[in-house]
Amino acid sequence: MHSAAIIGTGSIGRVHAEAFHKDSRCRIAALCSRTTSKCDEIISDLMPEEKERITITDDWHSLLSRSDIDIVSIALPPALHKDVTIAFLKSGKHVLLEKPMALTLEEEDEIIEAEKESGKKLGIIFQNRYYSNIQRAKKMLSDGYFGKILSVDVTSHWFRGANYHNLYWRGTWESEGGGCLTSQGVHQVDMLLWFMGGLPESITAIMDNRTHTNSETEDEGMAFMRFPGKALGSLTFSLSDMDEFQGFRFQCEKAAFTIPSWSLSVKKPQPNGYPEDDEEERERLQRIFDSIPLQEKEGHDRAVSSFIDAVDNDTAPDATSLDGRNATEFIDAFYLSAATEKRVSFPLGKDSPVYTKEGLVSTMPRFFSKTISTESQKGRMTLGSASKK
């Protein structure tokens, strides 16, 4: 039986706690929040009968020496990720870390070094990988049913009101490390790199802030990429789209498909080159897709369970620290391209202007000044379209 501590009990921390509570191989031993009343609320809602057993604290340092805790789930603002993650790794605990992995590549390299020295597991929460249609499409691509990827179009459109950035840690390059692409679009960035097998060769980007006037950072952007093997990619993201569409459209040699809302098209050329539907081949590919088992768990539930699997089986987590770093490298290259109005090539070296927090902050534009800062906000958190049934 594993024993877990949840560090941070805001909206996403509650989701972490729910996922750990659902896994029978683990029990929650401690909840940590600077607002301990949030810990009380989670216990009352999820496990009231265990109230006397669970430690509630506002100081995560007090949990470092707890020998009974072997897994720590970190759901804190990004600016706190590095120090807390490194401390728990060095204390001998496995860590499951909310995205983004940290504010900058420099911080993430420090985390990766601590991970190597500790010998413990470090996983990153990229829960959108774990929905059934996405897993099925990934397997069929990997097994070669669609042929090579020619191009991929990625849409990461979300809606947050102008007051979203009023929360104290949101809306500045220094505290959040970015805007919509860092906080929301990172999910689609991770899946893009997962599907494509790694980072692109280069990226050309633009960004702006149109509606979120209490934020220095961007709320929309677009980019074009070229991947190894010559596949092309496009990305568009927004924090102002009331339709909230997030999805992928792949053009491959043998078919075209979209996810997470699944559609499949197969064409063949007529003698004059114009297309006609190849229904026989489409039905064959659809049967293969349907034959791939559905995920028993999806989203955060599966992200947590798969991390426990990695601990139990001494295997690498599904979403590793390298995956977390790759997502940040892509995002930082996007920001650098947009800020300088130049194409940026991968990889980004330590001499890149955006490798450090100081470099990122000094390089990025301020679209607006953050003038409102609140300690907390009321209302429920909503997840992306992949979680909608």
| Spans of all domains in the chain | 2-127+299-317, 129-295+326-387
Structurally, what CATH architecture does the domain formed by 129-295+326-387 represent? 2-Layer Sandwich (3.30)
Mean pLDDT of 105-125: 98
User: Looking at the predicted structure, is the pLDDT value of residue 16 above 80?
Assistant: yes
| Structure confidence at residue 386 (pLDDT) | 65
Predicted confidence (pLDDT) at residue 248 exceeds the cutoff of 70: yes
Q: What is the pLDDT of residue 384?
A: 77
**Residues recorded for the chain:** 389
**Residues 285-306: what's their mean pLDDT?**
97
Nearest to 32 by CA among 76, 70, 2, 66: 76
Is the pLDDT score of 136 beyond 70?
yes
CA distances (Å), origin 321, targets 15, 32, 113, 235, 241 = 21, 23, 10, 23, 31
Per-residue CA distances from 237 to 180, 182, 356, 364, 378 (Å): 7, 11, 24, 18, 26
Tens digit of pLDDT for each residue in 315-364?
Answer: 999 999 999 999 999 999 999 999 999 999 999 999 999 999 999 999 99
Q: Please give the model's pTM, rounded to 2 decimal places.
A: 0.96
Note the Cα 52 to chain centre separation in Å.
Answer: 34
Indicate whether 27 pLDDT > 90. Answer: yes
| Sequence-separated (6 or more) residues with CB below 8 Å from residue 24 | none
**Confidence check: pLDDT of 29 > 80:** yes
Whether 227 shows a pLDDT value over 60: the answer reads: yes
Rounded mean pLDDT, 136-156: 98
> 151, 150, 134: which is closest to 294 by C-alpha?
134
Q: What is the pLDDT of residue 383?
A: 80
Q: Indicate whether 243 pLDDT > 70.
A: yes
70 close to 2: Cβ distance less than 8 angstroms: yes
pLDDT band at 250 (very low <50, low <70, confident <90, very high): very high
Largest CA distance in the chain: 76
* pLDDT value at 244 more than 70: yes
pLDDT(388) > 70? no
* 389 pLDDT higher than 60: no
What is the Cα–Cα distance from 211 to 220, expressed in whole angstroms?
A: 9
Checking if the pLDDT of 122 tops 90, the result is yes
Q: Look at residue 379 and tell me whether its pLDDT is greater than 90.
A: no
Instruction: Say what the pLDDT of residue 381 is.
Output: 79
3-state SS string for the chain:
CEEEEEECCCHHHHHHHHHHHHCCCEEEEEEECCCHHHHHHHHHHHCHHHCCCCEEECCHHHHCCCCCCCEEEECCCHHHHHHHHHHHHHCCCEEEEECCCCCCHHHHHHHHHHHHHHCCCEEEECHHHHCHHHHHHHHHHHCCCCCCEEEEEEEEECECCHHHHHECCCCCHHHHCCCHHHHCCHHHHHHHHHHHCCCCCEEEEEEECCCCCCCCCCCEEEEEEECCCCCEEEEEEECECCCCCEEEEEEECCCEEEECCCEEECEEECCCCCEEECHHHHHHHHHHHHHCCCCCCCHHHHHHHHHHHHHHHCCCCCCCHHHHHHHHHHHHHHHHHHHHCCCEECCCCCCCCCCCHHHHHHHCCCCCCCCCCECCCCCCCCCCHHHCC
Class of domain 2-127+299-317: alpha beta
Q: What is the pLDDT of residue 290?
A: 98
282-293 pLDDT per residue, tens: 999 999 999 999
Report whether pLDDT(86) > 90.
Answer: yes
Return mean pLDDT, the chain.
Answer: 96
